[in-house]
């Protein structure tokens, strides 16, 4: 198990020259940092002048329930970086990247791990010549305390190119990420995979935040039962209008309910953000569906209603 390794042996394939930088020290960023080799992985500070230490220390509970102490560097330079993982919240991504991108080698692949959709397109539109890839992951991680990460369940991570200059780079990215021991695969149709995850998040996350409940508990709630069919209809209409392979509303509802059951004891990322006083990703999940639907002349009142209610919740948490 590679967790907490403090040194990794150079191999014949030249991996000693690989340096992975992680932008975003939330649950997912810390999860990847814990599994990747300690001596070639570090975090990128948003503002190096405010750092109180050169190292970031935290505890990780792995998926078998074992505890590890993790120590990783804050990186002071980025010139030798061979891979950048961006694990910021969707709404912070463009601003965070803008602060550091001039220090990153032009050829360095940038892998975006954001939930939902919208932030990936913002990055690809702003830096079209950079090799930008997107990741879709089912690794489940949460951060119950600032210095503690729980790897709740093992999953898979799919990687695919977003910009022209990233085409053909998946293999090198996968090779570097596979040193974590986590399951990483290439995906030529990454947008479809991101859409699949978006649909599941749109059908689970806002309900858990509004009802302040765990994923499995939404299935019996009247809020979910009253709106899920119309929500899935809106998703199916938009997926078709985007020219992606169609899914029936019934298929989408089955997917949502299956994931809610399989993760029934989990706190969703949106409920976790709300509980932790952080901005939620609603604008990139149901808000994205409502926005794109409007742009394409489709109605999405349920996605809009859920977006409004989550936003109201955040501005008036006592209601």
Q: Select the span of 105-113, 198-206, 222-230, 294-302 touching ligand KPL (CB under 6 A).
A: 198-206
Tell me the residue length of the chain.
Answer: 319
The answer to whether the CB of 160 falls within 8 A of the CB of 188 is: yes
The single residue among 82, 87, 115, 280 that binds ligand KPL, judged by CB under 6 A, is: 115
Q: Is 197 a catalytic residue?
A: yes
85 close to 25: Cβ distance less than 8 angstroms? no
Nearer to ligand KPL, 263 or 293 (CB): 263
Residue 134, number of CB atoms within 10 A of its CB? 28
- Among candidate residues 9, 89, 197, 311, the one labeled active-site is 197
**What's the distance, Cα to Cα, between the start and end of the chain in Å?**
45
Q: How far is CA 252 from CA 64, 160, 293, in A?
A: 31, 23, 17
Question: Facing residues of 156 across strands?
Answer: 183
Residues 250 to 279: which contact ligand KPL by CB under 6 A? 259, 263, 266, 268-269
If one asks whether residue 108 binds ligand KPL (CB under 6 A), the answer comes out as no
237 binds ligand KPL (CB under 6 A): no
Check residue 201 for interaction with ligand KPL (CB under 6 A): yes
Question: Can you point out the beta strands (E) in 180-219?
Answer: 183-186
Piece in contact with ligand KPL (CB under 6 A), picked from 22-30, 183-191, 201-209, 304-312: 201-209
User: Which CB, 31 or 259, lies closer to ligand KPL?
Assistant: 259
Pair of tokens at residue 25: 């020290």
Residue 200 binds to ligand KPL (criterion: CB under 6 A): yes
Q: What is the rounded distance in angstroms from the CA atom of residue 221 to the CA atom of residue 76? A: 49
Pick the closer one to ligand KPL by CB: 176 or 266.
Answer: 266
Q: Which residues bind ligand KPL (CB under 6 A)?
A: 115, 200-201, 204-205, 215, 259, 263, 266, 268-269
> What residues are labeled active site?
197
């Amino acid at each position: 198990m590679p967790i907490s390794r403090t040194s990794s042996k150079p191999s014949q394939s030249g991996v000693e020259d690989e340096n992975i930088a992680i932008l975003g020290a939330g649950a997912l960023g810390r999860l990847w940092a814990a599994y990747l080799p300690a001596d070639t992985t570090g975090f990128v500070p948003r503002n190096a002048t405010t750092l109180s230490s050169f190292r970031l220390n935290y505890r990780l509970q792995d998926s078998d329930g074992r505890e590890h102490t993790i120590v990783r560097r804050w990186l002071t330079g980025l010139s030798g970086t061979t891979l950048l993982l961006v694990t910021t919240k969707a709404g912070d991504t463009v601003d965070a990247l803008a602060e550091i991108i001039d220090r990153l080698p032009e050829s360095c692949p940038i892998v975006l791990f954001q939930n939902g959709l919208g932030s990936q397109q913002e990055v690809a539109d702003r830096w079209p010549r950079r090799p930008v890839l997107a990741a879709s992951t089912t690794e489940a991680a949460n951060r119950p305390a600032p210095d503690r990460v729980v790897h709740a369940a093992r999953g898979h991570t799919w990687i695919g190119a977003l910009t022209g200059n990233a085409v053909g780079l998946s293999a090198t990215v996968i090779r570097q990420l596979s040193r974590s021991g986590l399951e990483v695969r290439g995906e030529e149709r990454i947008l479809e995979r991101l859409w699949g995850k978006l649909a599941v998040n749109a059908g689970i996350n806002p309900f858990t935040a509004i009802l302040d409940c765990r994923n499995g508990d939404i299935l019996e709630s009247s809020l979910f039962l009253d709106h899920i069919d119309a929500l899935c209809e809106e998703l199916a209409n938009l997926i078709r209008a985007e020219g992606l392979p169609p899914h029936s509303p019934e298929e989408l509802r089955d997917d949502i309910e299956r994931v809610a059951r399989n993760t029934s004891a989990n706190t969703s990322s949106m409920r976790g953000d709300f509980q932790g006083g952080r901005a939620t990703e609603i604008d990139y999940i149901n808000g994205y569906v409502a926005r794109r639907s409007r742009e394409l002349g489709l109605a999405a009142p349920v996605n809009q209603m859920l977006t409004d209610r989550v936003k109201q919740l955040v501005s008036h948490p006592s209601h």
